[in-house]
Amino acid sequence: MTDQAAWAPTSFGARAHDYDRLRPGYPLEALTQALAALDAGPPGTALDIGCGTGKLAAALTTLGHEVTGIEPDQRMAQVASAGGLAVEAGPFETWEPGGRRFDLVACGQAWHWLRPGQRTQKAARCLGPAGRILLAWNFGSYALRNAPRLNEVYASVLPDGLPAGPGGRLSLSESDLDGYAEELRSHGFRHVTRTTVPWQTRLTSRQFCELLATESRHLALPETLRHRLLGEVAVFLDAEEGGEIRVDYTCLVVGAAAAR
């Protein structure tokens, strides 16, 4: 596994309940549009790769799919199981479907943790002949009245800035999705589509700081330093932003049909 893949399962689970409570879900509109663009049939069986606490699985279940999750982190899997999801523990790379084929293979916010090429080949093996794949991400931005001042808050606590993300990478960008789409095409997937749906939510200062604490670069900080930083951020939000922040999300879904 790459450094990124090895890092992810051992990090987010440390705050599994906060992750489940505060990380965004997936708008049904985005998933419905993505499936319609692929001329997908009626709801059927679905595999959620790296299901985490069950955010994407919950949306797919609402749409009528019978979802099985695969999750490498036991703490995340326990939260998902408590929510009613059938979860099989272990990394997708070594997990075996046992002869099962699914109508839909989905992955929310986790595809980039998996090894390129290998992930696509294995996903293809898990699909039936009329199967579809959906790869979904939420990209968020914060609507602040005084964004430069927040940067100053960070600089006062972390003069060298936040640590880089896993493998030295700061973050995933929307442009990375073009590469994922091309990877699907190169492995025989057909009718590759991209669906974009904007949405919003509002969080209190405390909720926003708890959300930041589930983000990879904040998790990489020593606990005492992270606590100090987010305490300063909360003070800033209370004083400068009225104790509330709007988060603007874009849900992006890359979809494709299985090779014939």
* DSSP per-residue letters across 18-57: HHHHHS----HHHHHHHHHHTT--S--EEEEET-TTTHHH
Residue 18 pLDDT: 79
Asked whether the beta carbons of 8 and 214 are under 8 A apart, the reply is no
Q: How confident is the model at residue 14 (pLDDT cuts 50, 70, 90)?
A: low
CA distance 3 to 164: 13
Position of tokens 């493998």?
A: 167
Q: For residue range 187-223, what is the model confidence (pLDDT) as tens digits?
A: 999 999 999 999 999 999 999 999 898 888 898 899 9
Q: How confident is the model at residue 19 (pLDDT cuts 50, 70, 90)?
A: confident
Q: For residue range 97-152, what is the model confidence (pLDDT) as tens digits?
A: 999 999 999 999 999 989 999 999 999 999 999 999 999 999 998 888 888 899 99
Residues 6+ apart with CB under 8 A from 246: 142, 143, 200, 201, 202
Q: How confident is the model at residue 170 (pLDDT cuts 50, 70, 90)?
A: very low
Q: In the beta sheet, which residues pair with residue 228? A: none
Q: For residue range 59-70, what is the model confidence (pLDDT) as tens digits?
A: 999 999 999 999
Supply the DSSP symbol for 9: G
Q: Exposure of 18 by Cβ count < 10 A (0-12 exposed, 13-18 middle, 19+ buried)?
A: middle
> Structure tokens of 133?
């794949």
Position of tokens 């839909």?
A: 104
